[in-house]
Amino acid sequence: MTEHYPAPLRLYVVRHGETEWALTGQHTGRSDIPLTAHGKDEARALKPWLAHIGFDHVWVSPRQRARDTADLAGLGFGAQIEPDLAEWDYGDYEGRTSADIRRERPDWSMFKDGCPNGESPAEVCGRADRLIGRLTDLSGNIALISHGEIGRALGVRWIGLPFVTGEHFSFSTASVSILAFKQDKPDVRVIEVWNVGPALSAGPQ
């Protein structure tokens, strides 16, 4: 009798398509900013990339821009809203750009300092670690439709890097990153693919 083992866990972290604030570099946390027309095209372009994978679960941030990206990318059916995938709560810095903030605080870093009246780095790190802990109880291919900062947080915490290193990772709109395990060492977590997508002129991985 053939034994069947669960498929290895692979996390496909997808950032939502372009919004007006993503285009201008304004921090977008709680604000429910919709996709631009170009952002919708970016999300649609993901569909042929992802259609062949076969996802066992799809988890989506509660924000409109993520939910619409999931729908346009062909992942909306059966998707589960996951509050822990919501973007960083920027508090007083909501809607502001990093350049504007640094005129007041030249040494400010999101991943080091957080946001007044918003989430601290420790809180977002804790949220990412909690989410990863839940995901590692699952198996197979899982799509996570989320945002820029929380996506970076998941990437660095997946491989055990200090949270502050997240500021060194780019995560473009409508891009895909794959978090998985090393084939010859299944207890070692790896970033298999980072920040690729149709809009970045790279082929599917």
> Is 87 a known active-site residue?
yes
Give me the domains of the chain, ranges plus CATH numbers: 10-199 (3.40.50.1240)
Catalytic residue among 16, 42, 82, 94: 16
Amino acid code (one letter) for 74: G
The residues with which 189 forms a beta bridge, in sequence order, are 181
pTM (predicted TM-score): 0.93
Q: What does the block give as tokens for 65?
A: 């821009």
**Residue-wise pLDDT tens for the chain (205 aa)?**
445 567 899 999 999 999 999 999 999 999 999 999 999 999 999 999 999 999 999 999 999 999 999 999 999 988 999 999 999 999 999 999 999 999 999 999 999 999 999 999 999 999 999 999 999 999 999 999 999 999 999 999 999 999 999 999 999 999 999 999 998 888 899 999 999 988 665 443 3
> Is 20 a known active-site residue?
no
String of DSSP letters for 15-77: E---BHHHHHTB--SSS-PPBPHHHHHHHHHHHHHHTTT--SEEEE-SSHHHHHHHHHTT--T
Catalytic residue among 18, 42, 87, 94: 87
Q: Report the SS3 class of residue 123.
A: helix
d(CA 88, CA 118): 8
d(CA 75, CA 181): 23
